[in-house]
Amino acid sequence: MKKLLLSVLLFTTSLAIQNANAQLSQGGKPYSFNHSDAESDIEIKTMPAFDLESLRAQDAINDQSKGPFRFGFNHYVNLNLANSGTWSTLSNGDRLWQLGIKCTNAQSINLAFDDFFMPQGADLFIYNSSKDFVIGAFTSVNNQDDKAFATDLVPGEELILEYREPTTVINQGRINIFRVTHGYRGITEYLKSFGNSGACQVNVNCPTGVAWQNEKHSVVCLVSGGSEFCTGALINDVPQDGKPYILTANHCGSTGFSTWIFRFNWEATGCTNPGSSPSTTQSLTGGVQRAASANSDFSLVEITGGLSGGTIPASFGPYFSGWSNVNTAATAATCIHHPSGDIKKISVANNSCISATWSGTSANSHWQVGQWTTACTEPGSSGSPLYDQNHRIVGQLHGGPSACGQSAANMNDVYGKFSVSWLGGGTNATQLKHWLDPNSSNTTGTLDGFNPSSTVGISDNKISENSFSIYPNPSSGLFNLEVSLNASQMITVNVFNLLGEIVSQKKYSNISNGVYSIDLTKEEKGLYFVEINTATEKTVKKINLIK
């Protein structure tokens, strides 16, 4: 079992302080940062010691066999609003609950909740003891039907939870922490194993990835079980309705999907490794497994938390990869993945795949990459998609011996066949067909990818990606939007930040050609999305604000 390592989705939010990557949240600051009526003497719960040396000995063996990459130790607890923390009544009558959690010598801490409910108007922040790293606010938007929730990793050995409850909803909120993960390795910057992959790995925005700019937006990182990591990909369904299905490996986890975290867009902006971790990542929490099978090692998980209109928020720039369930070997193969939990990479095999068997599975249930000609995979790449020469997924990573520096004979990997997973074990719970083709309407056995931000519908005034260009990009604040249309029409230009908030909006009447300004000089640096709308269609472009 290869390559179960980091895959998470972090969502960036900007506070006045340096607020690093955070999950889908509403932004803002904890109440206590700006008010003196909050309790300053906060209860700190210290987690017990554990046998770290024994874990490291186990890790040394597991890493050699490319099993699940374990970065932390799980403490199982029962900490809630009634039995832990410190309450204070604020000057306006609201109540504030604070709780500190300490894991001595930890590199990071992350939490999971089995009873999480934020009433309207209430909010929860989580921050480190130095108050320079904050995630939140988590609000009623983050409530899930099963009452579960999880947070991404907070750096350091101590964190503080701060829950504010307005007088109008007193005693309605629920917070129960059941798992505290002590991160003891693999976290060099925040939660990411930034820079940890092998020297032969290639960033997805290098020339090798130029033809794969759509598909890269499918690939996500996920964290499962609180302490283990993997890779997955958004996959298209025949109705093309944006159903947020993630295809990954069965060995990436079989339980606890409601606390899985999915991270999008963690990648270098160019070919060269950046000097520090990219800050333009976004994440969602919570999912449900729809189908799985050990034979072809697939798992189909539907994201359930933080959705917008039942699908991935447009500000994430999602792309739903196409697929082929035809049992024909790819003549060339490409994998996009997060090796060793590092930023997104791309690997290429310019030769044909062959049928193979892996780890006790049925004969010819897998594709073996003939030999990687560019880069390879590592622990953490498990579950990543294998694309054929037509940019369609034909499998997901199960295992294999490849690694930077390996001999040519060992530079191969094995992927569970999509064609085998299609009918799987014959039941809805063990096949892809029921979920990806619910009406049995696909007759070709193939489906191309779906970009929900592309223009849709039929119109005499149809717009395309080439109808608009934005330059300079990156920019220090002033961007030019050049418009080139076949006919005059009304256009609305919205600029969104990573929280999905509109930071600029302009409307133009009866225009067809011209250059128009976008002024973001007053905004924080980072990634923004420009949404250009006509009466019937829209297109979205990313811009990078640097200062």
The residues near 126 (Cβ < 8 Å, ≥ 6 apart) are 111, 134, 135, 136, 151, 154, 159, 160, 161, 162
User: Could you confirm whether 297 is annotated as catalytic?
Assistant: yes
Question: Which residue in this structure is represented by tokens 């976290």?
Answer: 187
Residue 113 CA to residue 509 CA, distance in Å, equals 50
Catalytic residue, chosen from 75, 182, 217, 251, is 251
Q: How far is CA 422 from CA 147, 232, 365, 518, in A?
A: 32, 17, 11, 46
Residue pair 304/286 in contact by the 8 Å Cβ criterion: yes
Quick one: which H or E segment has residue 246?
strand 245-249
Alpha-carbon distance 119 to 115, whole Å?
13
**251: annotated active-site residue:** yes
360-366, long-range: CB < 8 A, 24+ apart:
361/294, 361/295, 361/296, 361/297, 361/416, 362/295, 362/420, 364/417, 365/295, 365/296, 365/416, 365/417, 365/420, 366/296, 366/297, 366/395, 366/398, 366/414, 366/415, 366/416, 366/417, 366/420
Q: At residue 408, what are phi and psi to the nearest 5 degrees?
A: -55, -35
Cα dihedral sign, 241-242-245-248: positive
Say which DSSP state 65 is in: T
Query: Is 146 assigned a catalytic role?
Result: no
Cis before 332 (ω within 30) = no
∠ CA 59-45-56, nearest 5°, is 10
DSSP codes joined into one string, 353-416: -EEE--TTPPTT-EEE-S--SB----TT-TT-EEE-TTSEEEEEEEE----TT--GGG---EEE
How are beta strands 322-324 and 392-399 bridged, if at all? parallel
How far is residue 473's CA from residue 529's CA, in Å, rounded to a whole number? 12
Q: b/e string for 420-450 if b means 16 or more Cβ within 10 A? A: bbbebeeeeebbbbbbbbeeeeeeeeebebb
Residues found in the chain:
547
Catalytic residue among 382, 384, 402, 467, which?
A: 382
| Integer CA distances (angstroms), 15 to 24, 193, 283, 388, in order | 14, 24, 17, 42
Report CA torsion sign: 301, 304, 308, 313.
Answer: negative
Residues with Cβ within 8 Å of 58's Cβ and at least 6 positions away in sequence, in order, are 70
Annotated catalytic residue within 123, 152, 237, 297: 297
Catalytic residue set: 251, 297, 382
